């Protein structure tokens, strides 16, 4: 819209996901690990345990090299990446939360300096001062987390900010505290997890056994706190109903794996707690992998819940502000899009012009063949289907902003999509599979059988003839639905599926697997 | 093709502080970033040079190792002090900065992995340098080269954001972000100017460090002073030439202002040239006389840097003026948050000061 769009084959969302997962995994360790160091150092000093003190010191070097370099720079990296992929969002945040970031920076300064003084001070500072520096580090690191958490949760649930534009209303928004609790838990868990990993390299002494147990306790405590925070979060997160979950096709599956993953981690963490002497690299690798997956699934769920906004209710992922939408309705899309190549003239080369529209209004969420790729879908559709679908994109599961192109712009976009399509897709040969596929690429775009906008009940008992008649009148039921325009063979396959659906009673309880049937 | 420039509209939300305050904070924190960057880049280059002279000059390897040990702290300072001007730059000139960054997205993004690699390079030199044997100098050279490359990326962005007239051709030619701004004649001289300035100021910092170590290591201190002041003098001399090249590469309109078109600009430039010449003379003098105080040369160097930052800022204001438009920017000052920031900043400085003092006092 206002800014150029970075054309990225892998998709901007995927790049953000990669950088932020790497960063968040380390940056929470930077908070929790700080607490671990200073608390464990105190224990070692109090017990005059030289072995344990050596463990702490060796761990602090690992901590320094991981958090100060990789953690801090990938943090700058997220900022760079988001500004490249969603410049409008960063611009809005810089205006609304500049002072939040500036305040966070003061804590960051303390944090970096304290980490260095703590490391270089091992042999130089007296014990009391060394511990004080450790505490300064942890408090500053946690405070910077608490500030960033306000800005990050603001994007997802801006709450009353939408009405009053108040800094603090947006900062202490509805998900602020559950999210801060979850992040604190993550920080503690990662402190224990990373220490469990480095512990596998220690010589088998009593200090090692004690350490393994101690770290396992951190992980378990964090998992319990984190689970509680997750339940709390779910309660206050407005988008988190089964219906909305079903709107995002893959989400219910991910959400379920999240629960399974947490349970697996709790079981795995009992191993070092109960059998510390047997703790080994395999266990560490399993626990770390489970941790990374759980964490990625959680992050992924949250990011999916953001769609179609970058700042919920204020700014769409395309860089369009919600309040600007009426202008697009009135004037069409191109009039409000700055970065259109002047060489792509709509009258002479509609497909090229459509490509410009695509880059500005679709490419932020879609790629051709990669992340959220459109080509496999386009292979199933003829021109009429595409043309009918475009003005109704906001109703497709996946949560897209509406497309407000004029008829000529819609034509141009469709012409561009036609150039993206290669050959027509081959349908599966097995009749049941072909029928499912015919459903997936038509009704399944917007409905599930039993969860989100469920159809089973409405269709129940209808005959093939009645269903066929229904297909011809869909667009009369609601404007939201495109006329059904597929070729005759495809229509028969879809009818096979609908007949089966109309005949079969519901099998799964509503909401249990809203996405499963359509995939 | 010479299409009309595309300039994004200002953000719909008001600025959270008067532009003048943001401007002062930008210049202030950017100057600090430059000092740290100079310590880093200058330090890396001088360490490398000293390592090359290790056979010929007694104590050179020792000083090189000492600088190498300090490099990670310099990186941390450069990055930490880079974050703040980035904030204020985005608030003040975001619409230029974001557009330019996207147009050169890949080089800009690659700054991050490059920085991670070079940062680990600095730690390797610092923690393990002695054990690297023959690999030590090549590793240090590679690390320094990456920092120079990062500086080139920074210069590309800092100049591309000034040139909306170049954006359409670059962006529509390659919307995938594989663009540099090397077609702009400013870029190369500006980069060389920044690099030789960095080694010069890095040299001054080395000399000052030497002074602080006079008591514990007189011989090393003398070498640090001699090498540092030498770098300061020679590279400032080189920079007078590079600066002239840089000046002539500026856009006509901007150049005209520096050549008498604007009293303010011409005065700044003249002050910069005079202080640079004074710096060369003072550095040479202090280098000849071991006992001479470093205060005059330090004061003049600081003055030169401040003048350069202001000159650079003036050129930017001039170049952006035609694109900024005359509409007033909406401001909704968040006074409470500004006060909170000021308070926390003072607290942060005090805490960092206390910690560093404790560490320095504790000695080895
Ligand atoms: C460590 C390696 C770095 C080096 C060698 C370096 C070097 C430079 C140089 C040479 C400039 C001047 C560009 C010009 O005016 O032409 C500059 C500007 C700048 N740097 Fe860095 N930089 C480094 C890291 C960073 C990082 C990590 C950040 C941000 C987090 C940053 C933020 C900035 C900003 C915001 C400016 C421009 C300020 C302005 O235009 O007003 N730098 N840097």
**What pLDDT does residue A506 have?**
64
Residue B324 lies in a domain: no
Residues A96-124, mean pLDDT to the nearest whole number: 97
The answer, yes or no, to whether any atom of ligand 1 lies below 6 A from the CB of B303, is no
Quote the minimal CA–CA distance from A83 to chain B in Å: 7
Mutate to test the pocket of ligand 1, among B45, B80, B82, B243 (most ligand atoms within 8 A of CB): B82
Using the 3D structure, point to which of B152, B184, B216 is the last residue of a domain.
B184
Residue A150 backbone phi and psi in degrees, to 5? -65, -40
Beta-carbon contacts of A179 under 8 Å, excluding residues fewer than 6 positions away, are: A149, A152, A153, A229, A233
DSSP per residue, B127-145: HHGGGGGGGHHHHHHHHHH
Residues B98-116, mean pLDDT to the nearest whole number: 98
What CATH number has the domain bearing residue A135? Answer: 1.20.1630
Residue A510 pLDDT more than 50? Answer: no
Residue A360 backbone phi and psi in degrees, to 5? -80, -25
Residue B33 lies in a domain: yes
Condensed to tens digits (0 to 9), the pLDDT of residues B279-297 reads 999 999 999 998 899 999 9
Across the interface, whether the CB atoms of B112 and A110 are under 8 A apart is answered no
Please tell me the distance between residue B145's alpha carbon and the centre of ligand 1 in angstroms.
16
What residues in B contact A136, CB-CB < 8 Å? 351, 355
User: Are A445 and A412 contained in the same domain?
Assistant: no
Condensed to tens digits (0 to 9), the pLDDT of residues A109-120 reads 999 999 999 999
User: Are B180 and B237 contained in the same domain?
Assistant: no
What does the alpha-carbon distance between residue A161 and residue A170 come to, in Å, rounded to a whole number?
A: 5
Residue A296 lies in a domain: yes
Residue A517 pLDDT more than 90? Answer: no
Residues B218-242, mean pLDDT to the nearest whole number: 97
The answer, yes or no, to whether any atom of ligand 1 lies below 6 A from the CB of B187, is no
What does the alpha-carbon distance between residue B215 and residue A423 come to, in Å, rounded to a whole number?
A: 80
Region of A428 (left: φ > 0; alpha: ψ -120 to 50; beta: rest) is beta
Domain count, chain B: 2
User: Are A303 and A389 contained in the same domain?
Assistant: no
Q: Which token pair is B53?
A: 């002279």
> What angle do the packed helices A176-199 and A127-156 form, to 10 degrees?
130
Quote the minimal CA–CA distance from A19 to chain B in Å: 10
Torsion sign, CA atoms A73, A78, A83, A84: positive
Confirm if A410 and A387 have CB atoms less than 8 A apart. yes
Report CA-CA distances (Å) from B106 to A42, A89, A432, A483. Answer: 46, 20, 47, 43
Residue A518 pLDDT more than 50? Answer: no
DSSP state of A517: G
What does the alpha-carbon distance between residue B293 and residue B76 come to, in Å, rounded to a whole number?
A: 30
Torsion sign, CA atoms B211, B212, B217, B221: negative
Residue keyed to tokens 């600088």: B67
Long-range contacts of B131-139 (CB under 8 A, 24+ apart): B136/B51, B137/B48, B137/B51, B137/B52
Nearest to B13 among A19, A95, A117 (CB): A95
Percentage of residues of chain A with pLDDT beyond 90: 75
Nearest to B102 among A3, A114, A117 (CB): A3
Torsion sign, CA atoms A317, A322, A323, A329: positive
Residue A511 lies in a domain: no
Residue A175 lies in a domain: yes
Q: Print the domain residue range for B138.
A: 20-184
Q: Which residue has the higher pLDDT, B160 or A487?
A: B160
What does the alpha-carbon distance between residue A79 and residue B274 come to, in Å, rounded to a whole number?
A: 40
User: Are A331 and A371 contained in the same domain?
Assistant: yes
Residue B326 lies in a domain: no
Residue A1 lies in a domain: no
Residues B340-364, mean pLDDT to the nearest whole number: 94
What does the alpha-carbon distance between residue A395 and residue A397 come to, in Å, rounded to a whole number?
A: 6
Q: In this complex, how many residue pairs, one in chain A and one in chain B, have their CB atoms less than 8 Å apart?
A: 186
Residue A204 lies in a domain: yes
Using the 3D structure, point to which of A386, A419, A452 is the last residue of a domain.
A419
HSE (side-chain half, CA atoms, 13 Å) at B314: 22
Please tell me the distance between residue B39's alpha carbon and the centre of ligand 1 in angstroms.
13
3-state secondary structure of A422: coil
Residue B337 lies in a domain: no
Across the interface, whether the CB atoms of B119 and A69 are under 8 A apart is answered yes
3-state secondary structure of A311: strand
What does the alpha-carbon distance between residue A361 and residue A5 come to, in Å, rounded to a whole number?
A: 9
Residue A310 backbone phi and psi in degrees, to 5? -100, -35
Torsion sign, CA atoms A488, A492, A497, A500: positive
Quote the minimal CA–CA distance from A341 to chain B in Å: 6
User: Are A303 and A330 contained in the same domain?
Assistant: no
Residue A5 lies in a domain: no
Please tell me the distance between residue B158's alpha carbon and the centre of ligand 1 in angstroms.
9
- pLDDT averaged over chain A? 91
What does the alpha-carbon distance between residue A456 and residue A504 come to, in Å, rounded to a whole number?
A: 8
User: Are A342 and A229 contained in the same domain?
Assistant: no
Residue B294 backbone phi and psi in degrees, to 5? -90, -5
Residue A243 pLDDT more than 70? Answer: no
Beta-carbon contacts of A352 under 8 Å, excluding residues fewer than 6 positions away, are: A341, A343, A344, A345, A416
User: Are A302 and A365 contained in the same domain?
Assistant: no
Lowest mean pLDDT among A294-298, A374-378, B97-101, B161-165: A294-298
Residue B350 lies in a domain: no
Residue A187 lies in a domain: yes
User: Are A351 and A254 contained in the same domain?
Assistant: no
User: Are A293 and A376 contained in the same domain?
Assistant: no
Lowest mean pLDDT among A236-245, B105-114, B329-338: A236-245
Condensed to tens digits (0 to 9), the pLDDT of residues A360-379 reads 999 999 998 888 899 989 99
Search chain A and give the residue with CA nearest B331: A95
What does the alpha-carbon distance between residue A396 and residue A481 come to, in Å, rounded to a whole number?
A: 10
3-state secondary structure of A429: coil
User: Are B127 and B48 contained in the same domain?
Assistant: yes
Residue B227 lies in a domain: yes
User: Are B297 and B154 contained in the same domain?
Assistant: no
- Ligand 1: atom nearest CA of B89 is 41
Residue A80 lies in a domain: yes
Task: Give the distance from CA A436 to its chain's centroid.
Answer: 28
Confirm if B242 and B189 have CB atoms less than 8 A apart. yes
- Ligand 1: atom nearest CA of B147 is 5
Residue B91 lies in a domain: yes
What residues in B contact A117, CB-CB < 8 Å? 355-356, 358-359
Residue A443 pLDDT more than 70? Answer: yes
Domain count, chain A: 3
Q: Which token pair is A34?
A: 């700080």
User: Are B140 and B212 contained in the same domain?
Assistant: no
Residue A499 pLDDT more than 60? Answer: yes
**What pLDDT does residue A306 have?**
83
Q: By C-alpha distance, which of A350, A363, A480 is closest to A408?
A: A350
User: Are B236 and B156 contained in the same domain?
Assistant: no
Quote the minimal CA–CA distance from B53 to chain A in Å: 29
User: Are B213 and B169 contained in the same domain?
Assistant: no
What is the pLDDT confidence band of residue A452, given thresholds at 50, 70 and 90? confident
Residue B1 pLDDT more than 60? Answer: no
Residues A298-315, mean pLDDT to the nearest whole number: 86
Residue A519 pLDDT more than 50? Answer: no
Q: By C-alpha distance, which of B96, B159, B325, B168 is closest to A91?
A: B96
DSSP per residue, B194-232: HHHHHHHHHHHHHHHHHHHTTTT-HHHHHHHHHHHHHHH
User: Are B48 and B111 contained in the same domain?
Assistant: yes
Helix residue ranges, H only, A157-250: 161-164, 167-171, 176-199, 206-236, 242-247
Search chain B and give the residue with CA nearest A83: B98
Confirm if B314 and B265 have CB atoms less than 8 A apart. yes
**What pLDDT does residue A71 have?**
96
User: Are A163 and A274 contained in the same domain?
Assistant: yes
Residues A75-104, mean pLDDT to the nearest whole number: 97
Q: Which token pair is A144?
A: 């910077």
- Ligand 1: atom nearest CA of A79 is 30
Across the interface, whether the CB atoms of A113 and B356 are under 8 A apart is answered yes
Q: By C-alpha distance, which of B86, B68, B69 is closest to B32?
A: B86
User: Are B170 and B212 contained in the same domain?
Assistant: no
Q: Which token pair is A246?
A: 């079903």
What does the alpha-carbon distance between residue B254 and residue B163 come to, in Å, rounded to a whole number?
A: 13
Angle at B312 between CA B263 and CA A107, to 5 degrees: 130
Residues A228-243, mean pLDDT to the nearest whole number: 78
Beta-carbon contacts of B123 under 8 Å, excluding residues fewer than 6 positions away, are: A65, A69, B72
Residues B149-168, mean pLDDT to the nearest whole number: 97
User: Are B176 and B211 contained in the same domain?
Assistant: no
Residue B59 lies in a domain: yes
Residue A183: CB atoms within 10 Å: 24
**Rg of chain B over all Cα atoms, to the nearest angstrom:** 22
Residue A514 pLDDT more than 80? Answer: no
Q: By C-alpha distance, which of A58, A56, A68 is closest to A29?
A: A68
User: Are A254 and A276 contained in the same domain?
Assistant: yes
Torsion sign, CA atoms B342, B345, B351, B356: negative
User: Are A396 and A457 contained in the same domain?
Assistant: no
Cβ-in-10-Å burial (0-12, 13-18, 19+) of A373 comes to middle
Please tell me the distance between residue B334's alpha carbon and the centre of ligand 1 in angstroms.
27
Q: Print the domain residue range for A358.
A: 324-419
User: Are B121 and B263 contained in the same domain?
Assistant: no
Confirm if A134 and A64 have CB atoms less than 8 A apart. no
DSSP state of A200: T
User: Are A30 and A167 contained in the same domain?
Assistant: yes
Torsion sign, CA atoms A444, A447, A450, A452: positive
Please tell me the distance between residue B83's alpha carbon and the centre of ligand 1 in angstroms.
9
What CATH number has the domain bearing residue A404? Answer: 1.10.760
**Rg of chain A over all Cα atoms, to the nearest angstrom:** 27
Torsion sign, CA atoms A75, A76, A82, A85: negative
């Amino acid at each position: 819209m206002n800014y150029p769009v970075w054309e990225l084959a892998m998709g901007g969302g995927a790049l953000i996901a990669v950088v932020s997962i790497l960063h968040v995994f380390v940056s929470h360790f930077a908070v929790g690990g700080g607490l671990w160091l200073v608390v464990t150092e105190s224990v070692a000093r109090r017990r005059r345990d030289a072995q344990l003190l050596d463990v702490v010191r060796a761990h602090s070097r690992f901590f320094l090299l991981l958090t100060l370099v990789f953690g801090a720079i990938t943090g700058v990296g997220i900022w760079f990446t988001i500004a490249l992929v969603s410049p409008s969002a960063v611009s809005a945040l810089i205006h609304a939360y500049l002072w939040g970031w500036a305040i966070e920076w003061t804590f960051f300064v303390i944090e970096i300096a304290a980490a260095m003084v703590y490391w270089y001070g091992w042999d130089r500072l007296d014990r009391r001062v060394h511990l004080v520096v450790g505490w300064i580090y942890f408090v500053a690191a946690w405070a910077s987390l608490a500030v960033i958490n306000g800005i990050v949760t603001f994007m997802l649930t801006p709450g009353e900010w939408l009405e009053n534009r108040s800094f603090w209303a947006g900062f202490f928004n509805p998900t602020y505290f559950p999210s801060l609790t979850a992040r604190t838990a993550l920080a503690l868990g990662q402190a224990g997890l990373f220490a469990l990993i480095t512990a596998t390299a220690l010589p088998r002494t009593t200090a090692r056994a004690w350490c393994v147990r101690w770290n396992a306790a951190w992980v378990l405590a964090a998992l319990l706190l984190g689970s509680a925070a997750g339940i709390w979060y779910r309660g206050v997160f407005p988008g988190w109903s089964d219906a909305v979950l079903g709107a995002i096709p893959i989400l219910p599956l991910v959400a379920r794996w999240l629960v399974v993953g947490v349970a697996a981690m709790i079981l795995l963490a009992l191993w070092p707690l109960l059998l510390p002497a047997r703790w080994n690299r395999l266990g560490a690798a399993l626990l770390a992998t489970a941790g990374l997956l759980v964490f990625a699934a959680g992050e992924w769920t949250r990011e999916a819940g953001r769609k179609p906004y970058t700042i919920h209710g204020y700014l769409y992922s395309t860089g369009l502000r919600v309040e600007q939408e009426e202008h697009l309705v009135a004037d069409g899309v191109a009039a409000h899009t700055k970065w259109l190549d002047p060489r792509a003239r709509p009258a002479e080369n509609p497909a090229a012009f459509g490509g410009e529209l695509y880059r500005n209004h679709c490419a932020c969420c879609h790629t051709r063949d990669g992340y959220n790729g459109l080509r496999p879908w386009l292979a199933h559709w003829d021109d009429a289907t595409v043309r009918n679908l475009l003005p109704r994109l906001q109703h497709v599961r996946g949560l897209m902003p509406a497309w407000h192109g004029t008829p000529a712009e819609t034509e141009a976009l469709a012409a561009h999509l036609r150039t993206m399509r290669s050959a027509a897709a081959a349908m599966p040969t097995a009749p049941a599979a072909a029928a499912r596929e015919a459903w997936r690429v038509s009704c399944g775009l917007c409905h599930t059988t039993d969860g989100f906008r469920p159809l089973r009940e409405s269709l129940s008992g209808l005959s093939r003839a009645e269903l066929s008649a229904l297909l011809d009148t869909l667009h009369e039921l609601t404007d939201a639905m495109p006329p059904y325009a597929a070729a005759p063979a495809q229509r028969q396959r879809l009818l096979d599926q609908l007949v089966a659906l109309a005949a079969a009673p519901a099998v799964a309880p509503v909401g249990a697997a809203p996405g499963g049937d359509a995939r | 093709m010479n299409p009309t420039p595309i300039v994004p509209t200002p953000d719909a939300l008001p600025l959270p502080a008067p532009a003048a305050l943001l401007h002062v904070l930008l210049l202030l924190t950017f100057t600090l970033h430059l000092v740290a960057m100079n310590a880093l880049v200058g330090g890396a280059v001088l360490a490398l040079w000293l390592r090359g002279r290790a056979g010929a000059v007694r104590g050179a390897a020792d000083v090189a190792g000492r600088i190498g040990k300090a490099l990670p702290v310099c990186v941390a300072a450069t990055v930490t002090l880079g974050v703040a001007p980035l904030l204020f730059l985005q608030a003040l000139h975001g619409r230029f900065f974001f557009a330019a960054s996207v147009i050169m997205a890949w080089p800009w993004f690659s700054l991050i992995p490059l920085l991670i690699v070079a940062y680990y390079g600095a730690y390797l030199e610092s923690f393990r340098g002695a054990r690297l044997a023959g690999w030590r100098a090549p590793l240090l050279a590679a690390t320094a080269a990456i920092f120079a490359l990062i500086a080139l990326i920074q210069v590309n962005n800092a100049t591309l954001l000034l040139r909306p007239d170049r954006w359409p051709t670059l962006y529509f030619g390659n919307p995938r972000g594989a663009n540099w701004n090397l077609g702009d004649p400013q870029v190369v001289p500006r980069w060389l100017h920044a690099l030789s300035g960095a080694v010069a100021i890095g040299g001054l910092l080395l000399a000052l460090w030497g002074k602080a170590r006079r008591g514990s290591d007189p011989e090393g201190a003398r070498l640090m002073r001699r090498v540092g002041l030498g770098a300061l003098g020679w590279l400032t001399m080189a920079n007078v030439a590079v600066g002239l090249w840089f000046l002539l590469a500026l856009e006509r309109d901007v150049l005209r202002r520096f050549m008498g078109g604007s009293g303010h600009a011409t005065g700044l430039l003249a002050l910069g040239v005079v202080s640079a010449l004074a710096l060369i003379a003072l550095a040479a003098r202090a280098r000849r006389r071991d006992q001479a105080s470093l205060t005059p040369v330090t004061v003049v160097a600081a003055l030169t840097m401040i003048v350069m930052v202001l000159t650079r800022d003036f050129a930017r204001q001039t170049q952006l003026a035609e694109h900024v438009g005359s509409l007033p920017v909406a401001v909704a000052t968040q006074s409470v948050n500004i006060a909170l920031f000021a308070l926390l900043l003072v607290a942060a400085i005090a805490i960092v000061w206390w910690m560093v003092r404790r560490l320095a006092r504790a000695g080895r």
